[in-house]
Amino acid sequence: MKKNTIAKHNIKVLFWAQFFSTMSFLQPVLTLFYMERGLSEKEILIVLMCWSGAVMLGEVPSGVFADRFGAKKSFLTGALINIASYSLLFFAHEPWVFFLYSALNGFSVTFFSGADEALIYESLKESDEQHLMDRAMGKIQSAGFISAMMAVLFGAYIAKDLKEAQFQLLIALGIVFYTIQLFLLFWIKNPSSFTAYRENPFQQVTEGLKVIKEAPQLLSMFLNVTLVFIPASAVYENFNQPLFTHAGLPVYLIGIVYAIAAIVGYFASNSVGWLCERFSRILLLNITGALAVVGLLLSAIYGQTLWIVLGAFFILKLVRAVRYPIYSQLSNDIIPSEVRATTISLLSILDSVCDLIVFGIISAIAIKGLIGIFIGCATLALIGTLLPIKTIKTKVKLENS
């Protein structure tokens, strides 16, 4: 990647912003935290559904916001809402407070969703390096694995007794690091090619829908990725902690397991470019999708065997690290600059709809325990993996382009 370019600058800023935004000390004991505060498995799934519902409602407005005012203002808005949402956890003891926290947190994410990819892709275009999108996103994503390695070790150790004072300390530390992220985002630079989309907002959304309509393979590829991601990441990560403890892993060792997984994710993210030089991106998506199904099935069938549970966990972490940067490259290659954030936000709405459907299905079988949850996840991931995908080489053109 070329030096002294706006792409290099923005990637560096987003790398460190990602580092501090993912410094979640509560994450290694989050599900146990929910349970200690009185939430049942079904209420935890409702928390996830509140997050997805807020994303679904907020994606289009935030995508329009990003295309009109730029990624920088969008990021700053999202960071402020995130801090406000996380603060609710200090006194969250009733289910409705957790639901509100989750909804606000989901809404905050929408100001980054789409805008981050749009910013990086447009920044890379300034130096004619847009073909390096997957490498750039892999590098930014890797920051989260570095911070996670540190946060989970500290968080799991501090909260080893699952005491209220320990949870309060972890929440406070999280807010400190989210505040650092907020200040870092002031250094973001909008590309010189950025011109605010000034058409009627409804026209802006219409153009985004046109992109999806004229490139049906984009939709198929999106569903392939998201139907694997939701069960193998969103659902799995909210239930792997009780899976670990049921298999005999002490709470204080969960942090060490998460830290090792973060190292795996870090090297996998930074190896995306190397992998794409040697293998087809579509082949990599198909292989990682199959690995996700295998990891979920192993978790369901051998949930009492610790070494198999841990092996499945590392497989799923590897899958998550590799799939997203590759999808980001393939999808952004065909989305027009003028409505990039809006189009990605429209796809994210569909992602939220899929979230709600998946969470609803899983909550219906949650009464069968962890085995039922993971078998259901494996089935849904298999459906996603079987959806056909292929490279699209032609960028969609808008009428006013």
Distance separating alpha carbons of residues 43 and 38, to the nearest angstrom: 9
Q: How far is Cα 220 from Cα 160, in angstroms, rounded to an integer?
A: 43
- pLDDT tens for each residue of 9-27: 999 999 999 999 888 888 8
Q: Tell me the per-residue pLDDT of 177-189, one tens digit each, with 9 for 90 and over.
A: 999 999 999 999 8
Domain span at residue 324 reads 6-187+209-386
DSSP assigned state of 132: G
> Within a domain: residue 394?
no
| 397 in any annotated domain | no
Residue 195 has pLDDT above 60, yes or no: no
DSSP codes of every residue in 322-376 = HHHHHHHHHHHTTS-GGGHHHHHHHHHHHHHHHHHHHHHHHHHHGGGHHHHHHHH
Mean of the pLDDT values across residues 214-238? 84
Nearest to 83 by CA among 20, 146, 158: 20
CB-based contact 389:282 (threshold 8 Å): yes
- Contact predicate 357/233, CB 8 Å: no
**161-169: which pairs have CB atoms within 8 A and are 24 or more residues apart?**
162/29, 162/32, 162/33, 162/36, 162/251, 164/36, 167/26, 167/29, 167/33, 167/36, 168/90
Q: What separation in angstroms does the CA of 53 have from each of 226, 235, 399?
A: 16, 15, 33
Could you tell me the sign of the dihedral formed by the alpha carbons of 157, 163, 166, 172, in that order? positive
Q: What is the CATH number of the domain that holds 376?
A: 1.20.1250.20
Q: What is the pLDDT of residue 289?
A: 93
3-state helix, strand, coil in the chain (%, to 5): 80, 0, 20
Q: Is residue 34 part of a domain?
A: yes
In this structure, what are the phi and psi dihedrals at residue 377, rounded to the nearest 5 degrees? -65, -40
Residue 121 located in a structural domain? yes
Q: Is residue 152 in a domain? A: yes
pLDDT per residue over 50-69, tens digit each?
988 888 888 778 877 887 78
Total structural domains in the chain?
A: 1
Is the pTM value of this prediction over 0.75? no
Which of 96-105, 138-147, 192-201, 341-350 has the weakest average pLDDT? 192-201
CA distance from start to end of the chain: 28
Residue 324 domain flag: yes
Q: String of b and e for 239-261 (b: at least 16 CB within 10 Å)?
A: bbbbbbeebebebbebbbbbbbb
Confidence of residue 203 (pLDDT cuts 50, 70, 90): low
Residue 49 has pLDDT above 70, yes or no: yes
Alpha helices in 159-280 (DSSP H): 164-184, 201-214, 216-229, 240-246, 251-270, 272-278
- Is residue 230 in a domain? yes
From its phi and psi, is residue 391 left (phi > 0), alpha (psi between -120 and 50) or beta? Answer: beta
The answer to the question of residue 246 being in a domain is yes
Q: pLDDT of 262-311, one tens digit each?
A: 888 888 888 888 888 888 888 999 999 999 999 999 999 998 899 999 99
Identity of residue 125: K
